[in-house]
Amino acid sequence: MQKLELTWIGKGKEPEVEPRILLRDASKGYGDAESKNMLIHGDNLLALKALEQEYAGKVKCIYSGQ
């Protein structure tokens, strides 16, 4: 049986990223302000680190668009 592995340059050398704090900007709000949904604009890794503690195991969908 052949074993395959997904690999890339730099794999295993992930940068250390400290948790961040998300700040809400009401002027950029959209939709129902009482909703628990969030739209976060910024770097994916930094945003996920900011959400990690409070939302670990609770996130249903992450979309990364450009």
Q: Would the pTM of this model clear 0.75, i.e. be above it?
A: no
**pLDDT per position as a tens digit, 6-60:** 888 888 887 777 777 888 888 888 888 788 788 887 888 888 888 888 888 887 7
Contact 42, 62 (CB under 8 A): no
Give φ, ψ of 49 to 5 degrees.
-65, -35
- Helix ranges (H only) for 1-66 are 44-55
Q: How confident is the model at residue 66 (pLDDT cuts 50, 70, 90)?
A: low
Contact 14, 21 (CB under 8 A): no
